[in-house]
Amino acid sequence: MKSKTAERMSRILTLTGAISLGILAAGVARSLTAKSFDSMGGGSISSNVPVSQPKQLQQSKTIRSNSAYSQAQIDYFMEIAMGSEYNQQGAPRIRKWSGEVRVQAFGKPTSEDLRTLRTVISEINGLAGGAIQMQFLTSNPNITIHFVPELQFKSIEPAYIPVNFGFFVTRWNNQGIINRANVLVTTTGVTQKERSHLIREELTQALGLMRDSYRYADSMFYQPWTDITRFSELDKSLIRMLYLPQIRPGMTASEVMRTLSSMQANR
In the chain, alpha helices (H)? 4-12, 71-81, 111-128, 153-156, 192-205, 233-242, 253-265
Which residue range is the domain that position 86 belongs to? 4-48+55-265
Predicted local distance difference test score (pLDDT) of residue 216: 96
Rounded alpha-carbon distances, angstroms, from residue 165 to 140, 148, 186, 209? 26, 10, 5, 19
Contact yes or no for 188/38 (Cβ under 8 A): no
Residue 209 has pLDDT above 90, yes or no: yes
User: Across residues 59-68, what is the average pLDDT?
Assistant: 44
**Count of domains in the chain?**
1
pLDDT in tens, 115-137: 999 999 999 999 999 999 999 99
Residue 1 has pLDDT above 80, yes or no: no
pTM: 0.78
Predicted local distance difference test score (pLDDT) of residue 83: 81
User: Across residues 104-123, what is the average pLDDT?
Assistant: 98
Residue 161 has pLDDT above 80, yes or no: yes
Rounded Cα gap, residues 11 and 79, in angstroms: 23
Rounded Cα gap, residues 135 and 121, in angstroms: 7
Predicted local distance difference test score (pLDDT) of residue 263: 81
Predicted local distance difference test score (pLDDT) of residue 149: 98
User: Across residues 214-221, what is the average pLDDT?
Assistant: 96
User: Across residues 78-82, what is the average pLDDT?
Assistant: 96
Rounded Cα gap, residues 170 and 180, in angstroms: 6
Residue 54 has pLDDT above 80, yes or no: no
For residue 63, what pLDDT band results from cuts at 50, 70 and 90?
very low
More confident: 204 or 14:
204
What's 183's domain CATH number? 3.40.390.10
